[in-house]
Amino acid sequence: MSLVVSNIQKQYNGQKAVDGISFELHPGEIVGFLGPNGAGKSTTLKMIAGILMPDAGSITINNQLVQIDSIASKKLIGYLPESNPLYKDLYVKEYLQFLGNIHQVNHLSNRIKEVIDFLQLGLMQHKKIGELSKGYQQRLGIAAAIIHQPALLLLDEPTSGLDPNQLIEIREVIKLLSKRSMILFSSHILQEVTAVCNSVLVMHQGILVANEPIEELLKPKTNHLHILFEEELSHLKEHISKLSLDIVSIDKHLLVVKTAEGKDVKKMVMQFALDMGLNIERLHTEEASLEEIFKLLTH
């Protein structure tokens, strides 16, 4: 059971919000979805959840196409939207009953008890949702998203607005949930993503600028020179490969090369930029921290 997102695109009033992104999620994975505000994360999550139709591309879960109102897909997906819309006048247990009925959950009373215990909502179960603190509302949002035991859980900024204690608790909940579901959750807190996830997707201006395991992202990038160009490099790969440089990666605007003793790599790169009429936006040789990598990727 995997999620396969293939080249999806979405525009709002002619403006591209998601511009052809592809990635996969497999059982046991918790993937952090990072990016600045407006990067296109929520739009992507909504398309995967089947509540927004992509303009192009495809999303499959368990080899079936996710489409608006596709009942089969919705059974496999749990979604906690960023705004966590809850019916404030309903009681906690009543709300879970209501959702469980919609999803036609078998042995619903048992499942509600299980979910209430798991999310430690016991003391709150007979309260009105509007009376709950932000932390408990977030727990209830997660309870609502998992009532039908989905194979894929999409969480849009699940920890935003929580105090530090609540934040730690919700992170622990997310880790435990990954035993049953693949999880894709958006955040703009790097430390959170490294604490909880196996891998990370970084989105910026509608495109994916990174898709790698956490270890890869955290690997000390020593002896690497990062050169961020204003221009896209995709059509220059052949030219770049002809240079006597030890290339680590070429990704959109970012060229990473190994520095080598006795070779002035910086000078070579600058000469290449000059020859090709390219503008270097940033050159970076030090060991990059996660924040720096993020800045570099989304600059």
For ligand ADP, give the closer residue by CB, 8 or 121. Answer: 8
Query: What track of x and - describes contact with ligand ADP for positions 4 through 23 (by CB under 6 A)?
Result: --------x----x------
For ligand ADP, give the closer residue by CB, 12 or 98. Answer: 12
38 binds ligand ADP, rule: CB under 6 A: yes
| Residue 43 CB burial class (10 angstroms; 0-12, 13-18, ≥19) | buried
The number of residues making up the chain comes to 299
Tell me if 61 sits within 8 A of 2, measured CB to CB: yes
As a 3-state breakdown, the chain gives helix, strand, coil percent values, each rounded to 5, of 35, 30, 35
User: Least distance (Å) from ligand ADP to the CB of residue 291?
Assistant: 18
Tell me if 193 sits within 8 A of 11, measured CB to CB: no
Q: What is the DSSP letter of 235?
A: G
- Among residues 32, 35, 100, 158, the one that binds ligand ADP under rule CB under 6 A: 35
How many residues of this chain bind ligand ADP (CB under 6 A)?
10
Token pair, residue 232, equals: 């896209």
161 binds ligand ADP, rule: CB under 6 A: no
84 binds ligand ADP, rule: CB under 6 A: no
Q: Which stretch binds ligand ADP (CB under 6 A): 40-48, 109-117, 118-126, 248-256?
A: 40-48
40 binds ligand ADP, rule: CB under 6 A: yes
Backbone phi, psi, residue 131, to 5°: -90, -10
87 binds ligand ADP, rule: CB under 6 A: no
Residue from 60, 62, 61, 45 nearest 10 by CA: 45
Token pair, residue 290, equals: 């996660």
For ligand ADP, give the closer residue by CB, 41 or 139. Answer: 41
Tell me if 173 sits within 8 A of 138, measured CB to CB: no
Q: Which stretch binds ligand ADP (CB under 6 A): 35-43, 141-149, 162-170, 232-240?
A: 35-43
- CA 158/CA 40 separation, integer angstroms: 16
- Among residues 21, 32, 43, 105, the one that binds ligand ADP under rule CB under 6 A: 43
- List interacting residues with ligand ADP (CB under 6 A): 12, 17, 35, 37-43
